[in-house]
Structure 1
């Protein structure tokens, strides 16, 4: 008989998961000096249609007087045809990448809008494959004159080759970028150029140019490009992704340590509008600006008051080692041609300086610069211990100001910087473990003082709002294993009652170099509203605590991180927040690895693990084969092989080595298209437990990748975890 029985949907989960989440923003139209117009795009889960949708809210007139006032926004539901869009530097134009599907197939169109009129439009379907709009490869950049536009798309296989003469072309191996898509193989920067019409009509086709950019020089290893941005009409900066010696593109998603660098590309004078066939590949003179030992991404150009490019900024990490680590902010003086470290790696905090270093997203905001007086600053959000905060960084000195420092008695906000107007305004979102995201405008006055104005708050039902008000969140240091700490979410009512404590769910983040922050999570909040206490430990290796504690875990995965988790459970028991016999655990990826480890077989009553790492030595089919070696203290080179000695080391550090000690019921949840932790990992654990007569169930989701973040998959996984804990949480 099946142990997993569905007990029905959760109204709390559905409502919270469907709340709009702000993901991007920009400033459009108007005079941004006095009356900036803010546009915020949100992602919305639609459970009825089983899809993610988007909507845009526009705040047409923002008054910066009165911090408690806000303007009712205009709301539009974005078409699924729009794959990406960006506003030009002057705020007068917008570029849109559009995919239109009808009975004849899919068309790809690039559009340039000037106000409410189309200035240029081109059907690019036959010149390349899909647009790349993800954070890793996307390029969306206007030239300073706003007559050229860069974007990234998947190049077609050579259409000129005759398949009957060369049948191998279609099937010849080409490495891909790994999780979450095996179809990203040939990202290419495309230049779209047009001549403006003076009669408010669209540019004629003969007045447009579309070409693919390539390198004039031959590189030692193949290099692919993305994240391109204009500096001048003919100078472009881009991120170059290197193939490895053994012909791989190591998986990039969630990884900051890949062989990649900053490049300068110069367009040839021949890139004119007349006589160049559409889709032509043009060769650019190129210069790599960064050394081989640094992994560099996210180029951003700073202009002076005369709109001359003066500096290039980017994010940098070491190549190899921990997959994510403390970020360095670097720059290049575009006049002198010299590079500089603006913010360096921080190994460990000190009593005098609590700054733990930069721990940013993969990219900076597309527009990260503001001006405060006569100085230019970068505005970024960065993980600082168990929350994210807004940092303002002097572009000259690297001096850092924490603008959203948490003070006693204030909400534990985690912040995201979405964009700036390149002058004095910027848009952020913030949330807490018990309060969903709201959107704020930050702005500097003439004295350089920062003020905030709430633009948008989520609309929540009275029932859910009252339920959330009963939850409280706190960060608890694990004194025996500093700097480990855990974020605890619990019911005020249930935690204060007499009798048994609520069942405590220990949620373990993946990575291992990631962080559980105080940002709102619908899944965590909904489970807390079901009556559970939630504990989210940031064990050794988590980001935001200093580089020392990231490197400290290397070579000790499966011991140090496990011991940190166990101590976090014991600390909450000592504090009376939870109690023995009422403990369950859940985690995904490396969090699943920790959930599956049973050196302490009687600690948890039930476990849920999503796409878990079970046998590290058998993970060689992953898109991140170096992770196996680096995280477990072994050397990785292109010549590395899984020898019996290496396998033995990895086996002993893996959950599979402790499978005979598993006592708690286990639910395994897998994405069938996961390229990072291949599904056979979880399947092996399932069969090993089944063969030992343990209580185990498994759910598999077709077409789901490593995050299991499809609308249906996320909902069903959440319901399955809840029902698994209901069935077994209080067993002894």
Structure 2
């Protein structure tokens, strides 16, 4: 009989997971707000895009909203005047996919081109995506994968380019190897509202100057008609592209690209490469990304801003905001790294998303601000950063007895309005419009709220969330979610599920998580500890973990369990643990180092034997995080392997008593599946209680619609079977 028995679908999980998740927003023509959502469709087993349009009656009053499926639209941007929209569209018909670049003026197409034969997929992720209008609104730049000429139709021609090794961008980016900025231009005519194909040009941009190390460009934005700023990703000296997902420390910089004169491009075929003069603007020891241009009232570019981290070391750390005066060409640090917050100033430093919002600027009186969300301990908040002084204000600070909202900035109109989303552990995401009232204060108007069934709404009202400081190991704290009814019942306390986050440099926040809320609705208490190494607490506590993974983070989590027991929130003998990636590493350590603390464990793509992780897309991680030096020429020696083995969960496998469920993605490039399999076979060989599910075509997060659902159901059923300690004792 299988150890894992299916108890059926969860209506709560399905309903909560299918709630639209707001991802981005745009202001259109001054009186429309367009919000794009991601929607999980369990019936079709796909993720869909949904767009809602909110007409504005006044600056802050909204008419009825309309919505439509926008899954064909891969990227969308509005022009500086807000009168035009750019769309990158993919249309699939059977096994054939066609790609189109479209420019709309109001409700009419102004220019359109089928670009399928000129390049491969559009790049629309946070790392490579570009979609920017020129100031005159007659050109666009975007990022796409360059084609490689394989000469399949002529066997006598050179076959080697088709098979020559080309590094890719790592986890979830296996097919991204040759990102290229494309320039799309169109010439309007008074004879027609739609530009003829002969009046459209398309160019692939390349550098005029050769560089010692190849540079791959993305995140491009126009400054003037012939000046572009972009992020340039660099190969390492040993020919790698280190994985970028979740990594803020990659060799990359901000570059200036100058287009050739328009007259010199006349007659150039569609899709042809043109050379640009290039200049790197940032130092090699800084990892710089996300260029954003600030214009004055005359649409003259005056400043350039970007995000910056050190190259190497911790894969994520406190972020600096830097700027360049485009008149004097001088750079400065606007917001520097914060080593440790103080009682007088508890600002922990900047911990934003990988990129700045596409339109990050707001004007308030005579001041211009960059608006972004940033981690501040266990929540994300909206910060205004003065573009001159770097002064920071927390615009969504929580006051006593207020909900513990975490916020996301979706867009500004680059004037006086901003669209954000917010949620708590027990309330799904609202979408709000922020605007300045007559006194200059920031006010909020709800644009959209999720629609829940009465049963789900009632069930969520029974949940409560709190942040518990772990006083013995500051600044560690844990986010606790529990059922008021279940916690108040006489008898044993509810089973407590400890869920350390991955990374290790990440953070569990007060944002709504369908999977977490659904598990709490099953009657469990959830504890999500932010241990040493978590972001949002100051740089000191990120670097403090380096060289101590597997000990300091483990003991922080153990102390969080013991603190909840002391507070009466949970009790001994009713503890289980789950985690993914580094969270799985911690779960495996916890059941090995503390074999009687947890009755069961669930692990998603866990790190089990660090020294055997050299096939990862981030080979530097296993050195830097464990206190070993890393250079492109670094090889794993017997001595370093011994250090890594001693810090690995596999070193404690003989002490494991808890039943273990492993959930692995077959295509995981970050923590290769052999890591989890290593633990599976080790436990099997020791007659341990272990089960493993392997998901084809799934990568590190297991975030496909079916994989996420089955993973959640499997964890629930594993805890149902073993949380009481029947086999784990």
* TM-score grouping bracket, smaller chain normalisation: over 0.9
Asked whether the equivalents of residues 212 and 280 of structure 1 are also in contact (C-alpha less than 8 Å), the reply is yes
State how far apart, in whole Å, the 1-side matches of 2:656 and 2:282 are: 49
Asked whether the equivalents of residues 150 and 162 of structure 2 are also in contact (C-alpha less than 8 Å), the reply is no
Tell me whether 1:279 sits opposite 2:279 in the alignment.
no
State the Cα deviation string for residues 471-516 of structure 1 (Å, max 9, x = none).
Answer: 0000000000000000000011111222100000001110000000
Residue equivalent to 1:116: 107
State how far apart, in whole Å, the 2-side matches of 1:70 and 1:292 are: 48
Residue equivalent to 1:373: 365
Aligned partner of 1:409 among 398, 401, 404: 401
SS at match of 1:640: coil
Residue equivalent to 1:88: 79
Q: Which segment is superposed worse, 136-145 or 201-210?
A: 201-210
Residue equivalent to 1:50: 45
State how far apart, in whole Å, the 1-side matches of 2:486 and 2:81 are: 55
Residue equivalent to 1:607: 601
Q: How far apart are 1:100 and its partner, in Å? A: 1.9
Residue equivalent to 2:34: 39
Query: What is the TM-score with the length of structure 1 in the denominator?
Result: 0.97
SS at match of 1:508: coil
State how far apart, in whole Å, the 2-side matches of 1:38 and 1:422 are: 13
Residue equivalent to 1:189: 181
Tell me whether 1:422 sits opposite 2:414 in the alignment.
yes
Aligned partner of 2:119 among 119, 128, 131: 128
Q: How far apart are 1:82 and its partner, in Å? A: 1.8
SS at match of 1:170: helix
Write the mapping of 1:47-196 to structure 2, written as runs, cut at 5 A. 47-64=42-59, 71-78=63-70, 80-102=71-93, 105-158=96-149, 164-196=156-188
Q: How far apart are 1:271 and its partner, in Å? A: 6.3
State the Cα deviation string for residues 33-64 of structure 1 (Å, max 9, x = none).
Answer: xxx32111111100000000111111112545
Asked whether the equivalents of residues 111 and 118 of structure 1 are also in contact (C-alpha less than 8 Å), the reply is yes
SS at match of 1:509: coil
Asked whether the equivalents of residues 207 and 274 of structure 1 are also in contact (C-alpha less than 8 Å), the reply is no
Residue equivalent to 2:616: 622
Asked whether the equivalents of residues 151 and 158 of structure 2 are also in contact (C-alpha less than 8 Å), the reply is no
State how far apart, in whole Å, the 2-side matches of 1:403 and 1:529 are: 32
Aligned partner of 1:301 among 286, 293, 299: 293
Residue equivalent to 1:233: 225
State how far apart, in whole Å, the 1-side matches of 2:126 and 2:502 are: 20
Residue equivalent to 1:13: 13
Query: What is the TM-score with the length of structure 2 in the denominator?
Result: 0.98
Tell me whether 1:689 sits opposite 2:683 in the alignment.
yes
Asked whether the equivalents of residues 539 and 565 of structure 1 are also in contact (C-alpha less than 8 Å), the reply is yes
Moved over 4 A (4+): 159-163, 270-273
Asked whether the equivalents of residues 150 and 161 of structure 2 are also in contact (C-alpha less than 8 Å), the reply is no
Number of residue-to-residue matches in the alignment? 723
State the Cα deviation string for residues 183-214 of structure 1 (Å, max 9, x = none).
Answer: 11000000000001324432112211100000
Residue equivalent to 1:480: 472
Aligned partner of 1:214 among 203, 206, 230: 206
Aligned partner of 1:544 among 519, 525, 536: 536
Asked whether the equivalents of residues 119 and 200 of structure 1 are also in contact (C-alpha less than 8 Å), the reply is no
Q: How far apart are 1:74 and its partner, in Å? A: 1.2
Aligned partner of 1:393 among 385, 391, 407: 385
Residue equivalent to 1:455: 447
Asked whether the equivalents of residues 151 and 157 of structure 2 are also in contact (C-alpha less than 8 Å), the reply is no
Q: Which segment is superposed worse, 665-674 or 491-500?
A: 491-500
Q: How far apart are 1:91 and its partner, in Å? A: 1.1
Asked whether the equivalents of residues 132 and 140 of structure 2 are also in contact (C-alpha less than 8 Å), the reply is yes
Asked whether the equivalents of residues 211 and 279 of structure 1 are also in contact (C-alpha less than 8 Å), the reply is yes
Write the mapping of 1:557-636 to structure 2, written as runs, cut at 5 A. 557-597=549-589, 598-636=592-630
SS at match of 1:681: helix
Asked whether the equivalents of residues 326 and 346 of structure 1 are also in contact (C-alpha less than 8 Å), the reply is yes
State how far apart, in whole Å, the 2-side matches of 1:11 and 1:413 are: 25
Q: Which segment is superposed worse, 150-159 or 56-65?
A: 56-65
State how far apart, in whole Å, the 1-side matches of 2:45 and 2:603 are: 23
SS at match of 2:719: helix
State how far apart, in whole Å, the 1-side matches of 2:418 and 2:130 are: 21
Superposed CA RMSD: 1.2
State how far apart, in whole Å, the 2-side matches of 1:223 and 1:542 are: 31
Q: How far apart are 1:274 and its partner, in Å? A: 3.0
Q: How far apart are 1:102 and its partner, in Å? A: 2.4
Q: How far apart are 1:726 and its partner, in Å? A: 0.3
Write the mapping of 1:434-449 to structure 2, written as runs, cut at 5 A. 434-449=426-441
Tell me whether 1:3 sits opposite 2:21 in the alignment.
no
State how far apart, in whole Å, the 1-side matches of 2:333 and 2:415 are: 24
State the Cα deviation string for residues 415-445 of structure 1 (Å, max 9, x = none).
Answer: 0000000000000000000000000010113
Residue equivalent to 1:717: 711
State the Cα deviation string for residues 94-138 of structure 1 (Å, max 9, x = none).
Answer: 111112222572221111111111111111111111111111001
State the Cα deviation string for residues 264-285 of structure 1 (Å, max 9, x = none).
Answer: 0000115666311111111101
Asked whether the equivalents of residues 168 and 241 of structure 2 are also in contact (C-alpha less than 8 Å), the reply is yes
Asked whether the equivalents of residues 294 and 318 of structure 1 are also in contact (C-alpha less than 8 Å), the reply is yes
Gaps of at least 5 residues in structure 2 are none
State how far apart, in whole Å, the 1-side matches of 2:220 and 2:173 are: 21
Structure 1 residues 395, 519: CA separation in 2 closer, same or farther (over 3 Å shift)? Answer: same
SS at match of 1:59: strand
State how far apart, in whole Å, the 2-side matches of 1:363 and 1:247 are: 25
Residue equivalent to 1:705: 699
SS at match of 2:160: coil
Asked whether the equivalents of residues 317 and 325 of structure 1 are also in contact (C-alpha less than 8 Å), the reply is yes
Residue equivalent to 1:28: 28
SS at match of 1:693: coil
State the Cα deviation string for residues 244-276 of structure 1 (Å, max 9, x = none).
Answer: 000000000110000000000000115666311
State how far apart, in whole Å, the 2-side matches of 1:663 and 1:495 are: 28
Asked whether the equivalents of residues 56 and 62 of structure 2 are also in contact (C-alpha less than 8 Å), the reply is no
